[in-house]
Structure 1
Amino acid sequence: METTDSTCLLYKDIIGVQAPWEVTEVTKDEKIRKITVRIEHDSETAIKCPVCEQETKLYDHRIRTLRYLDTCQYETFLEVHVPRVSCKEDGVQQIPIPYAEKHSRFSSRFEKAIIVWLQDSPISAVAENFKLSWDEVDGIMQRAVKRGLSRRKKHKVKNMGIDETSYQKHHEYVTVILDKDRDSVIDVLDDRTAETLETWLKTQKSCNLSGLESISMDMWDPYIKAVKDNIPEAEQKIAFDRFHVSKHFNGALDKVRRREHKAFMKQAGESPLSKSRFQWLINSNRTDNRNTRRKDFLNLSRMNLETAKAWRIKETASSLWDYVYMNVAEAAWKKLLWWISHCRIPEIIKAGKTIKNYFWGILNAIRLKATNGMLEAKNNCIQRIKRMACGFRNRNRFRNAILFHLGKLDLFPSTV
C-alpha cells in the first residue's frame, strides 16, 4: 500500500496524533495482513530532558513497536521513533510517548480494550481473540492491578469484612479484606493465619482504620486474635454476622441429614431424604413455598426425623437477627441455645457450643446491624472468578484476579 497524505491524515485522526508528533508513513503487508503506522517527532521542535525538564540536544532515536487496535481485521502496529536526549545533568534519557506506558509493548488503547474484555472473559479467551499469548494478557492484567493500587487514595473504613476463601483443593486459603460501605475488596492476604492478618493491620497504607465501627468475620480464632491485638475496643466491634453463623448451622444440618440418610439406606434400602439436600439448606425466606417440590419438602419437614428437627432449629436461628431491642434479642438467642443443648442431636449440640462460645460477637452483629449481603455477594463473585479461570496455580494470580474484578480500581492506562 502506497503512503499518501490522506492515509497519514486518516491514521493521525484515528490514533489521535498531535504535534510535535506526526504520522510520516503507513504501510500494509497483505501476506500477513498487517498495517504499520510510522510516527516521528518533529525535528524542529525543541526537546526537553524528561527528568529535569531543561531544553537539551538530541542524542539519537530508538524505535518502539506497539500493538494497536486492529484496522478492518488487519493487525495494526505503531512504529514510534522515540528521541533520546543527551542531558548534562541526567545523561542520556528517552522521552515519554503519549501512546503507551513505559516499557509496554502495547498501545494504551489496545491495553484498555484487553482490560474491558477481561472483565467478562477468561484470559485464555481474550488471548485467542486478540491473537496474543496467555502470558501477554496476564501481564496486562497484572499491570492494570498494580496501576490501580498505586492510584488508590487512602480513605477511612467504617465497616470492614474479613473472610476466607480457598483458591485450590487441599485447604489452600487466602484472606479477603473488604470495605463493606464501598462494596469493594481492599486486599487479599496469602493465608488465614493470625500473623499474616496482624502484619497487614500494622503495615497497610491503603486505608485508615482509626474510625472502624464494625468488623464482620467468621468465628476463626486467628482472625479474632489478630484484630483484638491491633484494633482498639475490638470486642465491641467484632461481629459474627448471619452469613458466617448460618454456615455453622447449615454444616451441622447437612451432617445430620447424611448420617440419617445413610442409616435409612442401610436398614430399608431407601430413604425419604434422597435428593433433598438443597431443600434443607436454602433460605426459606427466599423460597416460593407454593411450588410442588417445595410442598413435598414441607411435608417431609413435618416427619419425625432428626434432620427435620435440626432444620427447624436452623430456621429459628435465621429469624433472630432483626430484633431492635438488645435485651429481647439476647433472651431469644439464649432460649434457642437452651433448645439446642437439649435436642439430643450430637451435630447440632456441637454447633450450639460453638455459637455459645462466640455469643458476644453475635450480639454485636445485631447491635451494629452488621448485614451479610455484601459478604455473600463477594463470595459468589470470587467463586465465579475461579470457575471462569478454571482455577489458579498460585496465590498471587488469584489475588490479582480478585482485585482486578472486585477492587474497584482505576485500571486503565493514563495515556488513553
Structure 2
Amino acid sequence: MANSDVFTLGLGLTPPWRVVDQRLETDRQPNELHLAVAADPGARFPCPSCGRLCKPHDWKELSWRHLNFFQHACIIEARVPRTDCPEHGVLRITVPWARPDSGFTLLFEQAALALMREMPVAAAARIIGVTDQRLWRILRFYVGRAIERLDLSGVEAVALDETAAKRGHSYVTVFIDLDAAERPVLFVTPGKGKECMTAFRAFLAEHGGEAGRIA
C-alpha cells in the first residue's frame, strides 16, 4: 500500500477526497508533516445551501492544523472549490474534515476542547503549540453553538449565587438549575441585583423557558 493510501485511510477520507502527496519539513521546530489532499478529477460537489451536486467554479488553497503525527506537527493542505449552483450561486463548500474558516481540523478542535476542560486555556495552548487566542476562538465558537441549542423549557427551580469575582466590588451572578444532577449552571452574568435578574429572564425566554413557572 502506498504512503498516500495509508494517510488517506488514517484521515478517514472518502471519495472524492484523498491524500496525493506528503512531505516532512525538518527546517523548523517542531518538524511539520504536510499532507496534500485533492479531489478526484471531474468530481462534483454539493452546494452548501441545497446539497445539489455542482461543478466547481474556482478553487482556493487552504490549510488546517491537524493532530500531531508522532512528534511532528501535521498540516493538511487542499484546494477547496466554490460550487456554481443554478439556484444559490457561487459558494465555498465545507470540507468533511473541518468547519468553515477554522484553520483547524475537527479532530484537532476536539482534542483542544478536551484539554481546555481540564486546565486553563493558556496551559492547553502551551501543550498543543498554538497561541491561546486561537484556542479561545475555538472555545467561543463551541460554547456559543451549545448556548444556541440550549432548551430551558423544563426548568422549574432556580437558585442564584452572587459571588465576588475580585477584591472590592466586582461581582458575578450565577443561576443554577436545582433539579439538574449534571451541568446545573444555567446562566452567568457580571454584576448583581435587579439587572442580573432581568438579563436571566430574557435569556430564559430566548431558550424556551417561562419565568412564571420557576419557584
TM-score by length of structure 2 reads 0.89
**1:207 CA displacement:** 4.7
What amino acid sits opposite 1:29 in the alignment?
Answer: E
Question: Does residue 19 of structure 2 align to residue 14 of structure 1?
Answer: no
User: Where does residue 327 of structure 1 map in the other structure?
Assistant: none
Query: Where is the helix percentage greater, Structure 1 or Structure 2?
Result: 1
Is contact 1:41–1:83 with CA below 8 Å preserved after alignment? Answer: no
Counterparts of 1:6-405 in structure 2, within 5 Å, are 6-32=2-28, 33-182=31-180, 183=182, 184-202=184-202, 204=204, 205-209=206-210, 210-212=212-214, 214=215
Provide the aligned length of Structure 1 versus Structure 2: 209
Q: Which has the higher contact order (CA 8 A, sep 6+)?
A: 1
| 43 and 134 in structure 1: CA distance in 2 versus 1, 3 angstrom threshold | same
Q: Relative to structure 1, is the Cα distance of residues 71 and 55 closer, same or farther in structure 2, using a 3 angstrom cutoff?
A: closer
Structure in which a larger fraction of residues adopt strand: 2
Q: CA 1:61–1:196 in structure 2 vs 1: closer, same or farther (change >3 Å)?
A: same
CA separation in 1, counterparts of 2:208 and 2:166?
Answer: 29
- 1:403 corresponds to: none
> C-alpha separation between the residues in 1 aligned to 2:91 and 2:196?
41
Identity over aligned residues, as a percent?
24
1:202 Cα deviation after fit? 4.1
Task: Summarize deviations over 1:109-147 as a string: whole Å, max 9, x none.
Answer: 101111111111111211111111121122222122112
2:96 partner amino acid: P
Alpha-carbon displacement from aligned partner over 1:135-192 (angstroms, at most 9, x marks no partner): 1122222122112212323431122111112222221112111112214211112221
RMSD: 1.8
Q: Which runs of 5+ in 1 are unaligned?
A: 215-416
Compared CA separation, residues 207 and 180, structure 1 to 2 (3 A): farther
Q: What SS does structure 2 have at the residue aligned with 1:161?
A: strand
CA contact (8 A) 1:29 1:35 kept: yes
Residues in 2 aligned to 1:62 and 1:46: alpha-carbon distance in whole angstroms: 16
Quick one: distance in 2 between partners of 1:48 and 1:140? 26
Please tell me the residue identity of whatever aligns with 1:73. Answer: Q
Letter of the structure 2 residue corresponding to residue 196 of structure 1: C
In structure 2, C-alpha distance between the alignment counterparts of 1:195 and 1:121, rounded to whole Å: 32
Matches of 2:213 and 2:52 in 1, distance apart? 46
SS in 1 for 2:83: strand
Q: Is the 8 A contact 1:35 1:75 kept in 2?
A: yes
Structure 1 Cα separation of the partners of residues 120 and 203 of structure 2: 33
The one-letter code of the counterpart of 2:194 is: A
